[in-house]
Amino acid sequence: MRVEVDHTRCAAVGRCAGIAPEVFDQREDDGVVILLDAAPPDSDRVREAALLCPAAAIVVHENAAPTPGTPITPRGSHV
């Protein structure tokens, strides 16, 4: 899948970083989203983060092949 974030819409409340920390983080100073992986392996948590983003600032493109050079193995821990 391919993920896009809109920094100008982001409400900086960190829903995404709570749900899918392997793909989303927040800037230290103002909490705005940091996209750690724009082409993560297929993940329901990423879909959930997009669904629950209170600013609708996350777009997930399904069926997008990982771009060359991006990791295809899952990162982060499953909890």
Partner 1 sequence: MPELKALPIAARAAECPFDPAPELREMLHEDELRRIKVPSPLLGEFEAVAVTRYDDARSLLSDDRLLTGQSLPTQPGNLLSYDGAEHSRLRRMLTGFFTTKRARALRPMIDDVVASRLDALAAAGPGTDLVQAFCAPIPTQVICELLGVPYADREDFRHRAEVALDVNATREEQIQKATDMQAYMAGLVARHRDEPGDNLLGGIVRDHGDELTDIELMGIGNMLLIAGHETITSMLAVAIALLLQHPDQLAIVRDEPSAVDGAVEELLRYCTPATILPRQAAASMCVRGQQIEEGERVVVSILAANRDPRGTGRDLDRLDVRRPPQPHMAFGHGPHQCLGQQLARTELRAALPALFARFPTLRLAVPADEVDYKTTALVFGVRTLPVAW
CB of 65 to partner 1, least distance (A): 26
Q: Among candidates 32, 38, 68, which has minimal Cα distance to 53?
A: 32
CB of 39 to partner 1, least distance (A): 22
String of contacts with partner 1 for each residue 48-67, x by CB under 8 A = x--xx-x-------------
CB of 41 to partner 1, least distance (A): 19
CB contact set of 50 (below 8 Å; sequence gap of 6+): 3, 16, 58, 59, 60
Residue in the block written with tokens 């821990």: 77
Residue 28 found at the interface with partner 1 (CB under 8 A): yes
Q: What is the DSSP letter of 16?
A: H
State which amino acid sits at residue 8: T
Provide the binding-site residues for partner 1, judged by CB under 8 A: 11-15, 17-18, 21, 25-32, 48, 51-52, 54, 79
